[in-house]
Amino acid sequence: MTFCIIHTYFLFPQLTGCSGLIDLAFAIDISGSIRQEHFDKVKEYIVQIIEKLEISDSKVRVAAITFEGQSRTVFGLNRYNTTHDVVQGILHIRWKGGRTNIQSALMRSQNQVKYVPSLEVHAQSSIMTVLSWV
Protein backbone atom coordinates (compact mmCIF):
# COMPACT_ATOMS: atom_id res chain seq x y z
CA MET A 1 0.00 0.00 0.00
CA THR A 2 1.24 3.49 -0.86
CA PHE A 3 0.59 6.44 1.42
CA CYS A 4 0.19 9.90 -0.03
CA ILE A 5 0.15 13.00 2.14
CA ILE A 6 -1.53 16.29 1.28
CA HIS A 7 0.15 19.00 3.34
CA THR A 8 -2.16 21.95 3.86
CA TYR A 9 0.01 24.50 5.64
CA PHE A 10 -1.27 28.03 5.14
CA LEU A 11 -3.82 26.79 2.63
CA PHE A 12 -1.16 26.00 0.02
CA PRO A 13 -1.42 22.25 -0.54
CA GLN A 14 1.69 20.23 -1.32
CA LEU A 15 1.79 16.52 -2.12
CA THR A 16 4.48 14.13 -0.92
CA GLY A 17 4.96 10.40 -1.15
CA CYS A 18 2.58 9.93 -4.07
CA SER A 19 3.40 7.35 -6.70
CA GLY A 20 1.43 5.26 -9.13
CA LEU A 21 -2.21 5.77 -9.98
CA ILE A 22 -4.20 7.62 -7.30
CA ASP A 23 -7.97 7.75 -6.92
CA LEU A 24 -9.05 10.82 -4.96
CA ALA A 25 -12.60 11.49 -3.80
CA PHE A 26 -13.69 14.81 -2.32
CA ALA A 27 -16.75 14.76 -0.04
CA ILE A 28 -17.91 18.38 -0.06
CA ASP A 29 -20.28 19.86 2.53
CA ILE A 30 -23.07 21.87 0.90
CA SER A 31 -25.28 21.85 4.01
CA GLY A 32 -26.26 24.63 6.38
CA SER A 33 -23.27 23.69 8.56
CA ILE A 34 -21.13 25.63 6.11
CA ARG A 35 -22.35 29.12 5.41
CA GLN A 36 -22.61 30.09 1.79
CA GLU A 37 -19.81 32.68 2.08
CA HIS A 38 -17.42 29.96 3.30
CA PHE A 39 -18.49 27.49 0.63
CA ASP A 40 -16.66 29.37 -2.13
CA LYS A 41 -13.47 29.30 -0.04
CA VAL A 42 -13.78 25.52 0.26
CA LYS A 43 -14.12 25.23 -3.53
CA GLU A 44 -11.08 27.50 -4.04
CA TYR A 45 -9.10 25.26 -1.71
CA ILE A 46 -10.12 22.14 -3.65
CA VAL A 47 -9.08 23.83 -6.90
CA GLN A 48 -5.65 24.61 -5.36
CA ILE A 49 -5.23 20.92 -4.58
CA ILE A 50 -6.39 19.79 -8.02
CA GLU A 51 -4.06 22.21 -9.79
CA LYS A 52 -1.09 20.54 -8.03
CA LEU A 53 -2.07 17.11 -9.37
CA GLU A 54 -1.44 15.47 -12.71
CA ILE A 55 -4.99 14.55 -13.65
CA SER A 56 -5.17 11.74 -16.22
CA ASP A 57 -6.34 8.16 -16.59
CA SER A 58 -2.86 6.97 -15.56
CA LYS A 59 -1.88 9.41 -12.77
CA VAL A 60 -4.71 10.88 -10.64
CA ARG A 61 -8.45 10.34 -11.05
CA VAL A 62 -10.87 12.52 -9.09
CA ALA A 63 -14.44 12.05 -7.90
CA ALA A 64 -16.64 14.64 -6.18
CA ILE A 65 -19.46 13.87 -3.76
CA THR A 66 -21.63 16.49 -2.11
CA PHE A 67 -23.58 16.10 1.09
CA GLU A 68 -26.29 17.79 3.07
CA GLY A 69 -29.37 15.80 4.14
CA GLN A 70 -28.40 13.30 1.44
CA SER A 71 -25.24 12.69 -0.53
CA ARG A 72 -24.89 12.84 -4.30
CA THR A 73 -22.12 11.89 -6.69
CA VAL A 74 -21.38 14.99 -8.75
CA PHE A 75 -18.86 13.15 -10.90
CA GLY A 76 -17.14 9.78 -10.64
CA LEU A 77 -13.52 8.75 -11.14
CA ASN A 78 -13.94 8.04 -14.84
CA ARG A 79 -15.80 11.24 -15.79
CA TYR A 80 -12.92 13.73 -16.27
CA ASN A 81 -9.31 13.15 -17.29
CA THR A 82 -7.92 16.70 -17.42
CA THR A 83 -7.21 19.24 -14.70
CA HIS A 84 -9.35 21.83 -16.48
CA ASP A 85 -12.39 19.57 -16.61
CA VAL A 86 -12.09 18.57 -12.94
CA VAL A 87 -11.73 22.22 -11.90
CA GLN A 88 -14.80 23.17 -13.94
CA GLY A 89 -16.75 20.30 -12.37
CA ILE A 90 -15.84 21.56 -8.88
CA LEU A 91 -16.64 25.19 -9.71
CA HIS A 92 -20.13 24.22 -10.91
CA ILE A 93 -21.07 22.73 -7.52
CA ARG A 94 -23.63 24.90 -5.73
CA TRP A 95 -24.31 25.41 -2.03
CA LYS A 96 -27.69 24.07 -0.92
CA GLY A 97 -28.07 24.51 2.85
CA GLY A 98 -30.19 22.24 5.01
CA ARG A 99 -29.17 19.55 7.47
CA THR A 100 -25.85 17.68 7.48
CA ASN A 101 -25.54 13.92 6.89
CA ILE A 102 -21.81 13.22 6.77
CA GLN A 103 -22.37 9.47 7.20
CA SER A 104 -24.10 9.33 3.83
CA ALA A 105 -21.15 11.13 2.23
CA LEU A 106 -18.63 8.79 3.82
CA MET A 107 -20.46 5.71 2.58
CA ARG A 108 -20.85 7.12 -0.94
CA SER A 109 -17.18 8.22 -1.01
CA GLN A 110 -16.05 4.77 0.03
CA ASN A 111 -18.00 3.31 -2.87
CA GLN A 112 -16.42 5.84 -5.25
CA VAL A 113 -12.80 5.00 -4.43
CA LYS A 114 -13.00 1.24 -4.08
CA TYR A 115 -12.90 -1.18 -7.03
CA VAL A 116 -14.86 0.29 -9.94
CA PRO A 117 -15.55 -2.40 -12.58
CA SER A 118 -15.80 0.11 -15.45
CA LEU A 119 -12.22 1.28 -14.89
CA GLU A 120 -9.60 -0.73 -16.76
CA VAL A 121 -6.74 0.21 -14.40
CA HIS A 122 -7.08 0.27 -10.63
CA ALA A 123 -5.35 2.67 -8.25
CA GLN A 124 -2.39 1.92 -6.06
CA SER A 125 -3.66 4.56 -3.60
CA SER A 126 -7.21 5.59 -2.79
CA ILE A 127 -7.78 8.79 -0.86
CA MET A 128 -10.99 10.26 0.47
CA THR A 129 -11.12 13.72 2.00
CA VAL A 130 -14.07 15.47 3.67
CA LEU A 131 -14.24 19.22 3.29
CA SER A 132 -16.34 21.46 5.47
CA TRP A 133 -15.86 24.68 7.43
CA VAL A 134 -15.65 24.97 11.19
- CA distances, 75 to each of 64, 65, 90 (Å): 5, 7, 9
Beta bridge partners of 131: 28
End-to-end distance of the chain based on CA atoms, in angstroms? 32
pLDDT digits (tens, 9 = 90+) for 119-129: 555 556 666 66
| 9 is a domain residue | no
| Chain centroid offset of residue 114 CA | 14
| 8 is a domain residue | no
Q: What is the pTM of this model?
A: 0.78
Q: DSSP label at 11?
A: G
Instruction: Check residue 10 and give its pLDDT.
Output: 45
**Residue of 88, 69, 98, 79 whose CA lies nearest to 25:** 79
CATH number at residue 97: 3.40.50.410
Instruction: Check residue 52 and give its pLDDT.
Output: 85
Domain that holds residue 113: 21-131
pLDDT digits (tens, 9 = 90+) for 80-108: 999 999 999 999 999 999 898 888 877 77
pLDDT digits (tens, 9 = 90+) for 46-82: 998 899 888 998 888 999 999 999 889 999 888 999 9
